[in-house]
């Protein structure tokens, strides 16, 4: 057995794991990252949008060298019925460089190379089968014949945290806190074709968020992102509600291609990848234990993904949690006497860092997930109302015209219980 004891072993080379690894290596710590995929990024799937403040926090201005796709300058919210759509369309070209569309695999490969340059050891194609736990303290990981030891294990194994669940360190993933997503990537012959499809200038990008009939009444939505020379299209659905609906997930994803307002974004492209991933959206009150004796958990494994309906954020929180974990570990290593594993108390600074950082967002949106899951009108009634109102306004025929007020009143009358609806919406706005 290898006698070397690392300062830290990081499990999983996704956004959280690579961020933690990079930060620790930069602080001069000995860090080993173990990734089960053939390369870092080969097991990762994203909808496709990353907020750049997190890359800036990790890499400084070097983040501009990262292989990102397009700066998002156009936000489109699409309210969808079976055949029609009302879009809230924006051109926000004057906005700062807040977010880019991304493809996760090339970006993570690039980040892994930065980690190695910074002095970290990155081992791929190696599946960690269990945590080494002695006397209630995590002391390393088991991978094949090897037992690898470290003073702390930073678990970034993703949305299915088998290692932590099996060691009994966190509660099992709750189906009520999870959505399931499917995604297609279509490639075009040139970036100009993507410019044309989305009506953007070269290098600029669009992000489409669709809600309505495409999820068959279930809490969820459609996303579509312009990449450099490809387009990402996908569907995210609440796991439990979808199970109860009995619909086929694949058929529903395929039906997107038939929707006139959605299918046009990918028509004529060559399918170059189909994938699927779970999305954590339980919110603050369902978060697991975040650290304990000899271990910390970051990113998806920690449930650090937030769905507010119009945005789903996970990668930026993964990066920020990786940074917080690395900084907490560095502080604990500096303060610790001896060379043994870091105890639970020594690592409690991680929770404090998160509470002062990204968990503020999670506290502010308590209840948002439950509200959206319970308010199915969002996915049925309101998109239909929007379409009816617009259809009425723009209808012209031989009969006498209908005054605008009558058109809007007719649409509004479809709301069955207006007072209750207003109350429900107000409640929702407070949680979002």
Output 21 or 230, the one with its CB closest to other proteins: 230
Q: Which of 18, 31, 79, 108 binds other proteins (CB under 8 A)?
A: 108
Nearest approach, Cβ of residue 42 and other proteins (Å) = 5
Nearest approach, Cβ of residue 32 and other proteins (Å) = 17
Nearest approach, Cβ of residue 187 and other proteins (Å) = 9
Q: Which of 249, 344, 390, 432 binds other proteins (CB under 8 A)?
A: 249
Distance, in Å, from the CA atom of 272 to the CA atom of 12, rounded to the nearest integer, reads 25
Output 287 or 359, the one with its CB closest to other proteins: 287
Taking residue 201's Cβ as centre, other Cβ atoms within 10 Å add up to: 12
Q: Is 253 in the site for other proteins (CB under 8 A)?
A: yes
Q: How far is CA 26 from the centre of its chain?
A: 26
Sorted by sequence, the CB contacts under 8 Å of residue 179 that are 6+ apart come out as 219, 220, 236, 237, 238, 239, 278, 279, 281, 307
Q: Is 141 in the site for other proteins (CB under 8 A)?
A: no
Nearest approach, Cβ of residue 401 and other proteins (Å) = 39
Q: Is 388 helix (H, G, I), strand (E, B) or coil?
A: helix
Nearest approach, Cβ of residue 166 and other proteins (Å) = 9
CA atoms in the 13 A half-sphere facing the CB of 355: 7
Q: Is 45 in the site for other proteins (CB under 8 A)?
A: yes
Question: What token pair was written down for 210?
Answer: 């669709």
Burial of 229 (0-12, 13-18, 19+ CB in 10 A): middle
Q: Are 209 and 79 in contact (CB under 8 A)?
A: no
Nearest approach, Cβ of residue 229 and other proteins (Å) = 11
Q: Which of 88, 92, 113, 125 binds other proteins (CB under 8 A)?
A: 125
Output 158 or 210, the one with its CB closest to other proteins: 158
Nearest approach, Cβ of residue 146 and other proteins (Å) = 12
Closest-CA residue to 318 (of 335, 338, 298): 298
Within residues 5-44, the interface with other proteins by CB under 8 A covers 36-38, 41-44
Kindly write down the DSSP assignment for every residue of 324-381, as one continuous string: HHHHHHHHHHHH--SSS---TTTTTHHHHHHHHTTHHHHHHTTTHHHHHHH-GGGGTH
Site map (CB under 8 A) of other proteins, residues 161-190, x = contact? -x---------xx-x--x-xxx-xx-----
Output 33 or 86, the one with its CB closest to other proteins: 33
Q: Is 246 in the site for other proteins (CB under 8 A)?
A: yes
Dmax (CA) of the chain: 89
Q: Are 45 and 300 in contact (CB under 8 A)?
A: no
Within residues 223-242, the interface with other proteins by CB under 8 A covers 230, 232, 239, 242
Angle at 420 between CA 413 and CA 365, to 5 degrees: 120
Angle at 157 between CA 151 and CA 161, to 5 degrees: 105
Nearest approach, Cβ of residue 376 and other proteins (Å) = 19
Closest-CA residue to 29 (of 342, 310, 360, 356): 342
Output 257 or 366, the one with its CB closest to other proteins: 257
Q: Are 85 and 389 in contact (CB under 8 A)?
A: no
Site size toward other proteins (CB under 8 A) is 56
Of 122-130, 325-333, 355-363, 388-396: span binding other proteins (CB under 8 A):
122-130
Of 131-139, 203-211, 213-221, 270-278: span binding other proteins (CB under 8 A):
270-278
| End-to-end CA separation in angstroms for the chain | 51
Q: Are 124 and 40 in contact (CB under 8 A)?
A: yes
Question: What token pair was written down for 95?
Answer: 């906005």
Q: Is 254 in the site for other proteins (CB under 8 A)?
A: yes
Output 48 or 383, the one with its CB closest to other proteins: 48
Output 79 or 170, the one with its CB closest to other proteins: 170
Q: How far is CA 235 from CA 2, 47, 58, 124, 221, in A?
A: 45, 9, 30, 30, 6
Output 197 or 326, the one with its CB closest to other proteins: 197
Q: Is 272 in the site for other proteins (CB under 8 A)?
A: yes
Output 152 or 163, the one with its CB closest to other proteins: 163
Nearest approach, Cβ of residue 89 and other proteins (Å) = 26
Q: Is 307 in the site for other proteins (CB under 8 A)?
A: no
Output 230 or 375, the one with its CB closest to other proteins: 230
Binding site for other proteins (CB under 8 A): 36-38, 41-46, 103-108, 124-127, 144, 159-160, 162, 172-173, 175, 178, 180-182, 184-185, 230, 232, 239, 242-243, 246-251, 253-255, 257-258, 271-278
């Amino acid at each position: 057995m290898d006698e070397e004891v690392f300062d830290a072993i990081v499990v999983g080379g996704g956004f959280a794991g690579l961020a933690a690894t990079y930060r620790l290596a930069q602080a001069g710590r000995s860090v080993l990252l173990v990734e089960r995929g053939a390369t870092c990024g080969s097991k990762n799937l994203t909808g496709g949008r990353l907020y750049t403040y997190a890359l800036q926090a990790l890499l400084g201005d070097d983040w501009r060298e990262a292989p990102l796709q397009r700066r998002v300058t156009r936000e489109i919210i699409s309210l969808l019925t079976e055949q029609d759509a009302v879009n809230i369309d924006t051109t926000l070209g004057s906005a700062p460089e807040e977010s880019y569309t991304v493809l996760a695999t090339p970006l993570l490969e690039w980040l892994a190379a930065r980690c190695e340059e910074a002095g970290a050891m990155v081992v791929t194609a190696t599946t960690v089968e269990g945590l080494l736990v002695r006397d209630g303290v995590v002391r390393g990981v088991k991978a094949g014949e090897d037992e690898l030891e470290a003073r702390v294990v930073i678990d970034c194994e993703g949305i299915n945290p088998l290692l932590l669940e099996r060691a009994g360190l966190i509660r099992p993933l709750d189906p009520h806190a999870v959505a399931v997503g499917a995604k297609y990537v279509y490639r075009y012959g040139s970036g100009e074709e993507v410019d044309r499809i989305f009506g953007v200038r070269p290098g600029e990008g669009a992000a489409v968020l669709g809600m309505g009939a495409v999820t068959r009444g279930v809490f969820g939505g459609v996303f579509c992102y312009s990449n450099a020379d490809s387009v990402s299209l996908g569907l995210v659905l609440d796991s439990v509600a979808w199970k109860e609906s009995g619909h086929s997930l694949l058929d529903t994803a395929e039906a997107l291609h038939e929707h006139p307002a959605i299918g046009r974004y990918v028509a004529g492209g060559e399918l170059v990848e189909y994938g699927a991933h779970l999305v954590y959206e339980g919110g603050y009150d369902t978060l697991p234990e975040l650290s304990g004796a000899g271990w910390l958990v970051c990113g998806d494994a920690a449930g650090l993904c937030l769905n507010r309906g119009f945005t789903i954020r996970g990668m930026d929180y993964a990066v920020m949690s990786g940074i917080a974990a690395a900084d907490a570990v560095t502080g604990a290593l500096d303060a610790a006497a001896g060379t043994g594993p870091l105890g639970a108390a020594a690592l409690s600074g991680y929770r404090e860092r998160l509470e002062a950082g990204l968990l503020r967002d999670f506290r502010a949106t308590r209840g948002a997930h439950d509200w959206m899951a319970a308010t199915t009108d969002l996915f049925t009634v309101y998109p239909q109302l929007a379409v009816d109102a617009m259809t009425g306004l723009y209808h012209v025929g031989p009969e006498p015209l209908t005054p605008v007020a009558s058109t809007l009143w007719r649409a509004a009358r479809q709301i069955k219980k207006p007072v209750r609806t207003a109350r429900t919406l107000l409640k929702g706005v407070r949680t979002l």
